[in-house]
């Protein structure tokens, strides 16, 4: 049965699904989580088979890119089975790209398997090149482990893009080194403004660094030329003349990118969120489990797409409080 594509009330076609497989993570990054987190009980998560069925329903509706997220997706037991199963859509050319975002801590262990399953690129979160600062920002991580993961990914043939959250008092000090490191190894670097999601035990105003300010710092050393490049997400890219590499800028606070939004997110418990910065949600788990057929599931997806808001309204509160109670780890950003 041929199904129509997913187009919201503002004429935006949804072609990109960010699918969370867990809200758990082996790190506790200061902009993402509180140090003591309460995670969803495992028995409330979708099974691997349900995740596959749900993702496949979106593929049937024209979604061409799936990004697996977390939390940290590689901590989900059996994840590689899901990746291998979803790769059938790549082989059938129903899906153009299957990828994931990771903190890199388990990447060395899984890089070869990801490549064999048809994954061609990964995004790796890396906010600092300083081992002590990395430990402080992640509250428990080891920089060397992530570096091993980056090397393993590239040796497996995976294209790597680094993601760095812009943090006041940290990123300004290291931005030139981050650019040189990434571009010297053939990796793009994307910078992201910190988003006011969830109580992380810190004042957001102490963390926030606008990318407009950071770009001015970058341009004291590097020559940037804006490009029309797009990677399927919200980043706007500039080419660095001195390296030939790219820097992406994701600016949810200083410049909305909602007019071209092509993506939706589904949590590991099967909740569809059509906007990261809003609480609008549709339960997909109930219709997924209600019957063997997918008619009810597709009806629920349609209801969510029809309710997709025009955009988000992120703002850092004067008291540093989060804009939404939901933590970043629920949907992976």
Binding residues: 18, 25, 29, 31-32, 67, 71, 101, 125, 161, 195, 258, 261, 263-265, 275
| Partners of 69 in beta bridges | 20
Q: How far apart are CA 293 and CA 266, in angstroms?
A: 20
Q: Give CA angle at 172 (171, 178), nearest 5°.
A: 60
Binding residues for GTP: 18, 67, 101, 161, 263-265
Non-local CB neighbours of 84 within 8 Å, separated by 6+ positions: 117
Q: How far apart are CA 324 and CA 277, in angstroms?
A: 8
Q: Decide: 61 and 298 in contact? Cβ < 8 Å.
A: yes
Which tokens go with 252?
């949810």
Binding residues for [4Fe-4S] cluster: 25, 29, 32, 258, 261, 275
Binding residues for S-adenosyl-L-methionine: 31, 71, 125, 195
Across 67-99, b (16+ Cβ under 10 Å) vs e yields bbbbbbbbbbeebbebbebbbebbeeeebebbb
Non-local CB neighbours of 95 within 8 Å, separated by 6+ positions: 59, 63, 64, 65, 66, 86, 89
Q: How far apart are CA 250 and CA 68, in angstroms?
A: 19
| Phi, psi dihedrals of residue 253, rounded to the nearest 5° | -100, -40
Question: Which value, in Å, is the radius of gyration of the alpha carbons in the chain?
Answer: 19
DSSP states of 186-217 as a string?
T-EEEEEE---BS--SS-HHHHB--HHHHHHH
| Phi, psi dihedrals of residue 83, rounded to the nearest 5° | -60, -45
| Partners of 160 in beta bridges | 122
Instruction: Output the CA torsion 215→262→315→222 (10° steps).
Output: 0
Helix ranges (DSSP H) in the chain: 48-60, 79-91, 107-116, 131-138, 143-155, 171-184, 204-207, 211-218, 285-290, 295-306
């Amino acid at each position: 049965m041929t199904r129509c594509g997913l187009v919201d009330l503002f004429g935006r076609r949804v072609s990109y699904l960010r699918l969370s497989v867990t809200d758990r993570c082996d790190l506790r990054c200061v902009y993402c989580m509180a140090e003591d987190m309460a995670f969803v009980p495992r028995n409330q998560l979708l099974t691997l088979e349900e995740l596959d069925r749900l993702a496949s329903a979106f593929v049937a509706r024209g979604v061409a890119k799936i990004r697996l997220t977390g939390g940290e997706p590689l901590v989900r037991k059996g994840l590689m089975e899901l990746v291998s199963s979803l790769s059938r859509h790549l082989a059938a050319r129903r899906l153009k790209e299957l990828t994931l975002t990771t903190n890199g801590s388990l990447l060395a262990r899984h890089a070869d398997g990801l490549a064999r399953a048809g994954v061609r690129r990964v995004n790796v979160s890396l906010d600092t090149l300083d081992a002590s600062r990395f430990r402080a920002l992640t509250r428990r991580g080891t920089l060397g482990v992530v570096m091993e993961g980056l090397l393993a990914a590239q040796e497996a043939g995976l294209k790597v893009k680094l993601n760095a959250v812009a943090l006041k008092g940290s990123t300004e000090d290291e931005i030139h080194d981050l650019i040189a490191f990434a571009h010297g190894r053939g990796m793009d670097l994307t910078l992201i403004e910190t988003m006011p999601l969830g109580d992380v035990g810190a004042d957001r105003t102490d963390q926030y660094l606008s990318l407009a300010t950071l770009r001015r710092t970058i341009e004291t050393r590097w020559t940037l030329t804006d490009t029309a490049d797009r990677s399927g997400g919200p980043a706007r890219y500039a080419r660095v003349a001195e390296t030939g590499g790219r820097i992406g800028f994701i600016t949810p606070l200083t410049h909305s990118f909602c007019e071209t939004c092509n993506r939706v997110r589904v949590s590991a418990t099967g909740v569809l969120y059509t906007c990261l910065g809003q609480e609008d949600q549709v339960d997909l788990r109930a219709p997924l489990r209600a019957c063997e057929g997918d008619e009810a599931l597709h009806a629920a997806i349609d209801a969510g797409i029809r309710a997709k808001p025009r955009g988000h309204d992120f703002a850092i509160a004067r008291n540093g409080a989060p804009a939404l109670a939901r933590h970043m780890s629920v949907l992976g950003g």
